[in-house]
Structure 1
Amino acid sequence: MKVSIETFGCTFNKADSQIMAGVLAENGMELVDNAEDADVIIVNTCYVKQPTENKVTNRIQKLQKHYPNKKVVVSGCMVEIDPEKLEKIAEDGTSWIGPHQLDKTADVVKAAYEGKTERDIGLSKKTKVGLKKVQSDDKVHIIQICEGCMGKCTFCCTRLARGPLHSYPIADIKAEAEQAIKNGAVEIELTAQDTAAFGHDTHEKLSDLIKEVAGLDGDFKIRVGMMHPKNIFDDVDGIIEAFKMPKVYKFMHLPVQTGSDKVLKDMNRRHTIAEYKDFVAKVRSEIPDLTLATDIIVGYPTETEEDFEETIKLLREIKPSLIHLSKYRHREGALSSSLKEIPFKVMKRRSKELTNIKEEITEEENKQLIGKTLETLIVGKGSKGGYMGKTYSYIPVIVPEAKIGSFVNVKINDATSTYLLGEIVD
């Protein structure tokens, strides 16, 4: 039996697909790269944003239309968040599997192949560390350090699929990282719905985890995934100490979502703008080369023009190196979905204004690096040619020629709002 897996969404979802591929391989099933060659097609769904939901639903319907003799199995967040919609768009008898039931992937796929319907859903405390993974890139290794979260953000539906926080033991995570490095990995990505929540349920700390992994032998870098600001504030010094370690990218993804304290409260984010700014200022004073990434939701239902101006003010003040913008949309099961959305024209105008500010800030930040020589880890081929690397601050840089997995010095010759251009020097 031949099986293909199509993955939508975040790094965590990508790791889920690698685990499913591992389960299939252990059960003697052949993995193929595209739907055309497969007998069964798994669509690993994401449901965090409306545009992604549209892509997912369109893809499921397109596969069923174009490959009537193949079986489609649906996995991922959609299965837990919106089974009613899935029932409407999927063919009768479509099998699916929830993100907590990955160990049953082979059973579900086999049942689908035989024309049977099997649906395994529901939350669990099963570990996702140390499991066999099949991955196309052995240089970058993803480790899920915990699943679920501690928050109840009003705009979020992902928590409904991932459940309450469940952290995995530091010893198990360290063991997986050590094995990955022995197998040739040069980048370890620690991922979760909120990495800053790690250990709050097990009395361990994210800072201790980072230090343990960063203390392993070998030439590699660690990328720490998204951190909810509120969950860092009880270990500020520990986090800064961990991020100072040579093997840790000087990169923090800290979503602020809005510059308005009022809207933050409406979102139930549990932190204030003053707390966020104080933390950023302290980290930057200790780690001057820090790359700060943040997320902004444009047009939350209670966002007024005054609130929007506060967001502009905040961005111009803290100047994040990376800004991820999302237009607000109601999500299935999210508390804010009961509120009235703001007019689309207003949303579009605000989004465009922030996009311009975003590009202005990030291009200015990147252009300051022109002429500098930066240590860079080459992680893969560029999407438009050349080779793509990451500086020690996790800024993407494109060079004409390089060996994947190598650490090189790159002189920066040019910059855009999204990446740097350079050449390798001795």
Structure 2
Amino acid sequence: MKVFIESYGCTFNKADAQIMAGVLEDNDIQLTNSIEDADVIIVNSCYVKLPTENKIVYRIQKLQKEFPNKKIIVGGCMVEIDPEKLEKIGPDCSWIGPHQLNKTADVVEKAYCGEVTRECGFSKESKVNVNKVTDDSFIHIVQICEGCTGACTFCCTRFARGALNSYPIDDIVEDVRKAIDNGAAEIQLTAQDTAAYGLDTGENLADLIKEVSNLDGDFRIRVGMMHPKNVLRNVDEIIEAIKHPKVYNFIHLPVQTGSDKVLKEMRRGHNLDQYREIVEKFKKEIPDITIATDIIVGYPTETDEDFELTCNLLEEIRPSLIHLSKYQHRKGAISSDLKEIPHTVMKQRSKHLSKIKDSITKKENDELLGTIQHALVVEKGSKGGFIAKSDSYIPIIVDNVKLGDFIRVKITETTSTYLKGVLVD
């Protein structure tokens, strides 16, 4: 029996797929990189946005049509968020919920024998210090906690991931130590909200970062998305931890809107003055910080005035990375009861924000032209060359290097999304 796994969505979900692969390996079940050779196909689904939902549904249906003799198992968030749709499109599919990864081998073996099995529901099973199988030995993903403390009206992911479940610092440190010993050069600390880490156990993100960064070895740490309301709890301590030279000068701090009114209606739990306070502190203490943020365009209660405030906020804060998403109803989300704004209006707003985004990021990158950056080579480029990440986590395209190398590179070309450079001694 051979199993093929394909995974969609966030870094956290990617790590879930690696755990599933590890469970199969531990049970002497063969993995394959060829879908044609596989007897069983696992689709590790993402369900955060409507286009992704449509992509997953289409993929499952396509696999059923193209490979009628192969067994298909669906994992990931769709299992918990929308089992009704999953049952409708794949009545013969087995399921593995994101909290039931340790049962992957059992589900696969039963599916192979023709038995439909559905393992779902919540658990406190740890996702650190477990076997993970990956094709990328230079990047190690560590899920520091699962679930969140939020109540965002637009989100359905929280229904799949559940209440906050933080893993012990000692276990995480041991997980990272093993990865570094095995050649990992970039450690990605990931969660639905890394800033929520330890709220349920009495530990905290700042202490975790310090413990990991003090390990021996030459590596870099990327800290994943942080909810502003939880950063506020100990912003000064988090800043001090991120100052460590082994930590990328990078934070992902979603604001979602520039309107306090809409923030309140979204139940985000913070206001814009608090967000500005966090950004100002990071920029003052870490001048080279790269700030990434998320914006939802066209939330149902967003007026023209609210949208203008969002434009103004981006021009004021000038984040180095801006992720734009058009609002769409999600299964079970509170805001799905509201009337969507006209899609033509949403499209116009999104187009306007995209121009602001490109202008900001291009100018930020242009300022780095001719500079020499210290960077870590993390992956091969899709169009040739390699992608290195600067100390501020900005991607740099460079040739004649090896994965895992720490390099010095002179920036010779800039775009709104990445840099290009050449090696220097």
> TM-score, with normalisation over the residues of structure 1?
0.99
Question: Which residue is equivalent to 1:57?
Answer: 57
Helix, strand or coil for the counterpart of 2:412? strand
Post-superposition offset of 1:94: 1.4
Q: 1:213-258 CA distances to partner (integer Å, 9 max, x unpaired)?
A: 0000000000000000000111011001001000000000000000
* Structure 2: gaps (5+ residues): none
1:391-406 pair list within 5 angstroms: 391-406=390-405
2:368 partner amino acid: L
- 1:34 paired with 2:15, answer no
2:59 partner amino acid: R
> Partners of 1:234 and 1:149 in 2: how far apart?
15
Question: Which residue is equivalent to 2:315?
Answer: 316
Question: Which residue is equivalent to 2:258?
Answer: 259
Post-superposition offset of 1:37: 1.4
Q: 1:304-361 CA distances to partner (integer Å, 9 max, x unpaired)?
A: 0000000000000010000000000000000000000000000000000001110110
> Partners of 1:93 and 1:383 in 2: how far apart?
36
1:87 partner amino acid: E
> TM-score, with normalisation over the residues of structure 2?
1.00
Structure 1 runs (4+) deviating above 6 angstroms are: none
1:12 partner amino acid: F
> Partners of 1:302 and 1:332 in 2: how far apart?
18
Question: Which residue is equivalent to 1:380?
Answer: 379
1:38 partner amino acid: A
> Partners of 1:95 and 1:31 in 2: how far apart?
18
1:151-230 pair list within 5 angstroms: 151-230=150-229
2:70 partner amino acid: K
> Partners of 1:152 and 1:33 in 2: how far apart?
39
* Structure 1: gaps (5+ residues): none
> Partners of 1:304 and 1:253 in 2: how far apart?
26
- 1:3 paired with 2:12, answer no
Post-superposition offset of 1:401: 1.4
1:255 partner amino acid: P
Question: Which residue is equivalent to 1:75?
Answer: 75
> Partners of 1:399 and 1:282 in 2: how far apart?
33
2:310 partner amino acid: T
> Partners of 2:400 and 2:291 in 1: how far apart?
28
Q: 1:70-95 CA distances to partner (integer Å, 9 max, x unpaired)?
A: 010000000000000001111x3311
Question: Which residue is equivalent to 1:300?
Answer: 299
> Partners of 1:97 and 1:374 in 2: how far apart?
43
> Partners of 1:175 and 1:21 in 2: how far apart?
21
Post-superposition offset of 1:179: 0.5
2:108 partner amino acid: V
Post-superposition offset of 1:400: 1.6
> Partners of 2:295 and 2:55 in 1: how far apart?
22
Helix, strand or coil for the counterpart of 1:172? helix
> Partners of 2:398 and 2:159 in 1: how far apart?
42
Q: Higher mean Cα deviation, 341-350 or 27-36?
A: 27-36
1:282 partner amino acid: K
Helix, strand or coil for the counterpart of 2:184? coil
> Partners of 1:261 and 1:284 in 2: how far apart?
22
> Partners of 2:48 and 2:195 in 1: how far apart?
19
1:304 partner amino acid: T
Post-superposition offset of 1:34: 2.9
> Partners of 1:420 and 1:271 in 2: how far apart?
34
Q: 1:176-215 CA distances to partner (integer Å, 9 max, x unpaired)?
A: 0000000000000000000000001100010000000000
Question: Which residue is equivalent to 1:285?
Answer: 284
Helix, strand or coil for the counterpart of 2:269? coil
Question: Percent identity at matched positions?
Answer: 66
Count of residue pairs the alignment pairs up: 425
1:97-136 pair list within 5 angstroms: 97-136=96-135
> Partners of 1:117 and 1:352 in 2: how far apart?
45
> Partners of 1:192 and 1:362 in 2: how far apart?
26
> Partners of 2:213 and 2:375 in 1: how far apart?
17
Helix, strand or coil for the counterpart of 1:69? coil
Helix, strand or coil for the counterpart of 2:36? helix
Post-superposition offset of 1:14: 0.3
> Partners of 2:34 and 2:338 in 1: how far apart?
41
> Partners of 2:113 and 2:388 in 1: how far apart?
45
